[in-house]
Each structure stands twice: as structure tokens, then as C-alpha cells.
Amino acid sequence: MSASQSSAPLPEAMSVTLTINGETRQLDVLPWTVLLDLLRDHLGLTGTKKGCDHGQCGACTVIVDGRRINSCMAFAVMKDGARITTIEGLAQGGDLHPLQQAFIDHDAFQCGYCTPGQICSGVALIEEGRARTRDEIRELMSGNICRCGAYTNIVDAIEQVIGADGEAGR
């Protein structure tokens, strides 16, 4: 803390309402609480991972109001009223999300640390409907780094789900 702040009153926690994985919760958060830290440290939702903490790796990707974002680059207080989906919210009952199953089918991870972010990003990518080719999947998954280098299998997994959706849509 710098001396210049000593005279300012300490800001207080603010009440925000967040719907996380379908459950609406009222939470008191300090202004500087980052969404990623709120999920992991305050709510125990440790599926979302802290990788670089600077918006460069995508391990912290969650889906906010239908859009994938880096939760490390968002203050929780700014998301008042938002609907948030994390990796913990993708399975329905005992059934994995099709992309979760596809990651298992294609062995699309090694150490697994980037996987929750990869899957949340991939789920949003599929919803966006802009990726059809492998080149497009690769480019639109470029915000998720995998240091084990499982990229080929990750693209395979996403392609499987996009292909299945395409079949269903015909």
C-alpha cells in the first residue's frame, strides 16, 4: 500500500448478484476481487484454473452471458447480474457435456491444467457457430495455450462435436 492511499477511506465490499452454473447467489465482493479469484478462492470452484493471470493463456476461460472471456481479466463487481458458466456447470446431471466426452474420446489432454479453459472455450466456440474447418477451429481456439501440445487432439475433439451437431441439424 502506498502512502498516498492512507488518507482515503478503505472501500467497502459491494453486494453483487451472480448466477453461477444456474444458481443465483448474492455475494459481497471487494472492488478489486478478480472474477477468477472469486470463483476459486471464495466459492471453491477450483475447476477454473489460474495459468498466467494476465490474459495470455486462456486457462481461466469461463462463459459470461454466453460469451467466453478470461476470468483473470475481469473484476467481479463489474459482472453484477451476469450468468456465468464454469467447467463445473457443463455436465447435466451425470451426463458429461458432449465436448467433455469428446476430450476423453480423443485423449485431448495430458497434464490437464489447461483443459477446463479449453473446454469452456470450445463450448462457446461451438455455440458461436463460426468455425467449420480445422483452420477455423485452430484460429478461434488460439486464446487457449496447451503447453503439453495436445492441440491436434483438441481440434479433433471439437471437430467431432461440431460434426455431430451438423448431422443433427440436417
Could you list the residues that contact other proteins (CB under 8 A)? Answer: 1-2, 4-5, 8-11, 14, 30-32, 34, 53-56, 58, 61, 67-70, 72-75, 77-78, 80, 121, 124-125, 128, 130, 133, 135-136, 138-140, 142-144
d(CA 103, CA 148): 14
Nearer to other proteins among residue 137 and residue 157 (C-beta): 137
Q: By the 8 A CB rule, do 79 and 18 touch?
A: yes
Q: How many beta carbons lie within 10 A of that of residue 135, not counting itself?
A: 10
Task: Give min distance, CB of 8 to other proteins, in A.
Answer: 6
Task: Give min distance, CB of 101 to other proteins, in A.
Answer: 23
d(CA 153, CA 157): 6
d(CA 100, CA 47): 13
Task: Give min distance, CB of 45 to other proteins, in A.
Answer: 18
Nearer to other proteins among residue 80 and residue 107 (C-beta): 80
Nearer to other proteins among residue 25 and residue 32 (C-beta): 32
Nearer to other proteins among residue 78 and residue 104 (C-beta): 78
| Helix locations, 1-97, DSSP H | 35-37
d(CA 127, CA 158): 12
C-alpha cell recorded at residue 123: 463450448
Q: By the 8 A CB rule, do 114 and 60 touch?
A: no
d(CA 69, CA 104): 24
Task: Give min distance, CB of 22 to other proteins, in A.
Answer: 21
Nearer to other proteins among residue 3 and residue 168 (C-beta): 3
Task: Give min distance, CB of 96 to other proteins, in A.
Answer: 23
